[in-house]
Every structure is written in C-alpha cells, then in structure tokens.
Structure 1
Amino acid sequence: MDKLESNLRVIKNTLGVFGIIGNVIGTIIVIFYCCTIRFFPAGLSVGDVLFCLCIFAIFGILYIVFIGVLHLASKLFLILFEKQIYKILIKKKINPVTFSKDRLFILCLSVIANILILFIAYRIWIQSSSLQTSLVFGFTVYMAIFCVGCMNVFISQWEELKLKNESEPSEENDRRLYFYIRNIKISSKFLFRVGMFITPLIVVSGIYVGLTNITLSLIGVRQSDVTIYVDKNYQHLFYNSENKDYFDKINCSSACQLEHVNILMTNIGTKTKFQIPAKSIHNTTDSPIEFEVPNEAIKGIRNK
C-alpha cells in the first residue's frame, strides 16, 4: 500500500512539473508569435493561461512527429551507405555498428518518410509561390537528416560499446559511455538524444514558425482565408482607412462582411487582430491591412 501511495505521489508530482513546464513553454510560444504579428492580447484570464498548456501539448506532438519522420528518413541513407560507414568506423578504430535489422520494413518506412518530406517541400513551393523558399526548406531538412543520422551512428556505437563494457569492463570505455556532473552519472547517449531532439528546431528553415502556425490554426487562435462578420458599429475603422474605395463596396447593413481575411489572433484576451491581404484589394504591391477589434465585435466567422 505504501509503495502504491509512493508511486501515485511520484506520478502526481511529475504531472505537476509537466504542467508547469508546459504552461511556461506554451506561453513562450505565444509570446514569440505575438512578437511576429506585433500584437499582445490584453485582458488575459486564468483560462487563457491554461490554454497555453494546450498549445504546448499540440506543438510538442507535432514536433515529435516531425522528428520521427526525420529519424525514419535518415535510416534510408544509413542502410544504403552501411558498408561505407562500417569502413570509416574501422579506419577510426571505432567499434563497427549495423543498421540492417528488419531491413525491408525500415526501408519501406524510410522511403515513405522521404516522400513525405519532398511533398511538404512541394506544398511550400505551391503555397508560397517561391521555389527558393521550398529549396531552402528541403536543403535544411536534409542537413538535419544528416545530423540525425550521425547521432544514430553515435547511439548505435554507444550501445555496442556498452555491451562490450558489460563483458569486459574498463575505465576507458566507462569514460566514453558516461560523464559526471557533481557526482551525477549521465549517459553520453542522453546527450545524443537531446541533440537529436534540438537539432531540427535549430537547423530546419521555418520549422518553428510553421509548426506554431499549424498549432494555433488547429485550436482556432489563427485562421486563414475566412469570411468574418463585424459589428456595423465598427465600420468607421474600414471607411477611414487608406483603401476607402475598397471598403465602400462592403455591405454593412446588418454586419460588415469581410472576405479573404486572415485572423492572426483570437480567443486569447479581449481583442481580435485580423488582416486583409493586399491581393484581396487588387494591389499586390502594398502590405496587408491590419485591424484590431474587441472580440464581441466579431459576430460570425465562415470557413470556406
């Protein structure tokens, strides 16, 4: 019974720590996003703060899936170039490793992962209308795959060395397997795992912004290309703007109907910020027009 209570206490404390860390990281994600759109929501409630935990959870799941795809994609090159890697390890007097376990199954998954990466790069090209952006994304993704592949080699080599050290213990092997910080024994494998987790976020171009936008879109904070209905009492905001001719055509009899709107932030705080792209007002050379209105001014949102 005491053991059960102890385990429950550990689980409770772990969940508590996870909740605190999740809220902090979720808040950081929201703050960085707010900096990019130059808008900080006012009138935050306790529910809005807890909302950050949901943001962190979704962002974390998406990022873990992305890392998993990179990990699988790297297996293709590790298996195809296994002999070359083997020769390099032998030449460097390092214990050789093998990656050919379940070769056919891993190869199939790896090919699918690589196809998915190429498809994402293609979608970026289509959506951004910029081949350069797509090529930069693809190049940085495969740089990350190279780094992840190297760390996979180090981890496999670490596991081989650990098995050898268990049968033939030596101080030299122990120093390569572990390091100490204030008498705390830490596995070198742990560092490789951390490096594998952090590297894509640093190396891959636009991955943080892309995952943040997807996360906020999934929970309704950010919405793209929608039609919104704004309280007609706020129509003066549109008529007093620089593009008065465009807004004169808007029907504001019961509510102002605005089409092709990108909602940058809503459902957090008391205000909503949205933008109308320049192409919607037939002038692609200008910057998008941005407005801020109270949440209650938004009478409805219609997705296409």
Structure 2
Amino acid sequence: MIVTLIDKSNKMIKSLAPLSILVGGIILMMYFHTIGYFAYDISIGDGLYLISIAATFGMLYIIFIGVMTCAGLTVTNRLIWKPLNNLLNFIEGKFGVKNILNDALDFKVKTEPVMWLLGTIGTIWILLMSVDQISKFDLKGIISLLSTTLFCALGWNGLNDIFSSERQKSISLMTLFILPLLLSGANTSLMNGTMRLLNIRQEHITIHLKKPYIAYAKEYGFNGSHSDFGDEYLKYTNFNAVFTGPGKSTVISPQNDKHTTLVIPNESLVIIKNKKTQSK
C-alpha cells in the first residue's frame, strides 16, 4: 500500500511539475508587469533562480486551486450557492422570473471529511484575504473571491462528472485554472506572499541611497534625511523593496504609493529591515 501511494505521488509530481512552471511563469510575468520592471540584466544562475521562483509560484497556485475547489464543493456550496439557488428557484416559482443560474449552482455538496477539511482551509484563506478588502469596503473583491470557489467547483465537476468530450473537458480545465487567476484577485496576494517568503520582496524598510540616485529620488518628490553611512548617502523611510533580485538592480516603492517604482543598482543602496518587521 505504501509503495502504491509513493508511486501515485511520484506520477502526480511528474505531471504537475511542467504545469506548475508554466502557470508560475505566467504569474511571475504578471508580477513584473505589476511593478513595472523586468529583470533583464541576469546571469545564467539568476535565470535558473527565476525558473525555481516560477515553479514555487505554480505549486502554490495549484494548492490554492485545490483548496478553493474543495471550498466550492463543500463549505461555500452549503452556505452560499445552495441557498442562493433555492432562493432563485423560489422567485422563479412565485414570480415567473427564470433562474438562469440553476445549471451552474445546482451541484451536489461533497460529504467526504477530507474535502470538508480542505474546504474549511480554503474558506479561512478567503476570509484572511478579504480582511484588507473589507477594511476598504471592496465588496467586488470579496464577491470575486467567493466566486472563485464556484468556478473551481464547476471546473472540477466538468472534468469528472458532467462533460465527456475532450473540448468540453478543455473548457472545464480552463475554468478551473485560468478564471480564478484572472478574477479572484488572489494572484496579487499569492505573488506578494511568495516573494516575501523568498525574501525577494521586503516591506516596511529603511533605505540609504547613494549619489547620484539621491537626485533620481528627488525627481519623484522623495527627500531623504541624514544617513550614518556617510555624506554620499541619504536615508529614506517607509519604503518597500518590491524586487531585490535576481539581477543587478533593486526596485523600490513608497508604501503609500504602490504605482511609483524606482530602479536602483544594488551597489547604490543599502536596505535596513525595521526592527518591528524583523521580529515578525
């Protein structure tokens, strides 16, 4: 039994590895697009490091899809989609307004304990990702996160229960993997979290810039203060390093303006992590 389990695990890993690199590469390109920078001055070793980052992105995204699918088939199906479908069916019977979502919302709630465990983890993940959106009253973001569980559940059912043709299965696969990436807003949290985990993204930091890049920062309206690193440096607080490698440059951004980024050569800046950040 153990040998069979190991064999199945090896086959799964072999099949998921190319997919994870492909999906991770897409997410990595999206991250570069978000920060307005692409690491072009890289060595062969840096290129291999980027591939490993892409694989990490991909594996985390596949895990995300897995728990969102379980959430869609269990928790959110029982708490949201089933009651919503019953309400729409009641309105259809009472007022004659056709329930056009019945085919999408009418699917069975899974009862397997493992599915419920993973579904609960997925629901908790949604709640954690929604905290910032709730504070900003971003109802659209919260709805899109919950809708992710529905798309994942539909994609899973399409692959396993409903559709038979290869074309329909391809559509289900696209629904399962692509729509959540585009609609959930999860890609931003996934990208930032992975970059923090790999220490490529560092937040709430103090930066010491060296001349002539002090003038570069001043052009963007950033005025530094005295630096203990010498007269050639100025100190800047409340910044994020959104990309610290691989490559020969670092991309920094003020905490209160994520759309403004400055590309600084590594030898022209010093990054100091704040003590509060280090203690976390």
- Give the TM bin, normalised by the shorter chain: 0.5 to 0.7
Contact 1:228 / 1:298 at 8 angstroms: preserved in 2?
Answer: yes
Residue number in structure 2 paired with 1:52: 50
Residues 187 and 27 (structure 1), Cα distance of their counterparts in 2 relative to 1, 3 Å cut: closer
Letter in 2 for 1:48: D
Contact 1:23 / 1:49 at 8 angstroms: preserved in 2?
Answer: no
Residue number in structure 2 paired with 1:164: none
Letter in 1 for 2:188: V
Aligned 1:36-115 pairs, distance under 5 A: 36-74=34-72, 75-78=74-77, 81=82, 99=109, 101-102=111-112, 106-107=115-116, 109-115=118-124
Aligned residue pairs total 241
- Unpaired stretches in structure 2, ≥5 consecutive residues: 1-10, 90-101
Contact 2:36 / 2:261 at 8 angstroms: preserved in 1?
Answer: no
Identity %: 23
Residue number in structure 2 paired with 1:200: 180
Residue number in structure 2 paired with 1:292: 263
> Deviation digits for residues 44-64 of structure 1, max 9, x if unmatched?
111221122122122112212
Paired with 1:190 and 1:239, the residues of 2 have a C-alpha distance of: 49
Residues 125 and 237 (structure 1), Cα distance of their counterparts in 2 relative to 1, 3 Å cut: farther
Q: TM (normalized to structure 2)?
A: 0.66
Contact 2:243 / 2:251 at 8 angstroms: preserved in 1?
Answer: yes
Structure showing greater Rg = 1
Residues 72 and 51 (structure 1), Cα distance of their counterparts in 2 relative to 1, 3 Å cut: same
Q: TM (normalized to structure 1)?
A: 0.62
**Cα offset, 1:111, TM superposition:** 4.1
Kindly indicate whether residue 159 of structure 2 is the aligned counterpart of residue 142 of structure 1: no
Question: Counterpart of 1:131 in 2: which secondary structure?
Answer: coil
Letter in 1 for 2:119: S
Residue number in structure 2 paired with 1:131: 137
Residue 236 of structure 2 is aligned with which of 242, 255, 258?
A: 258
Contact 1:221 / 1:264 at 8 angstroms: preserved in 2?
Answer: yes
The alignment yields a C-alpha RMSD, in angstroms, of 4.0
Paired with 1:115 and 1:28, the residues of 2 have a C-alpha distance of: 26
Aligned 1:221-240 pairs, distance under 5 A: 221-230=200-209, 232-234=210-212, 236-237=214-215, 240=218
Contact 2:76 / 2:149 at 8 angstroms: preserved in 1?
Answer: no
Paired with 2:41 and 2:234, the residues of 1 have a C-alpha distance of: 25
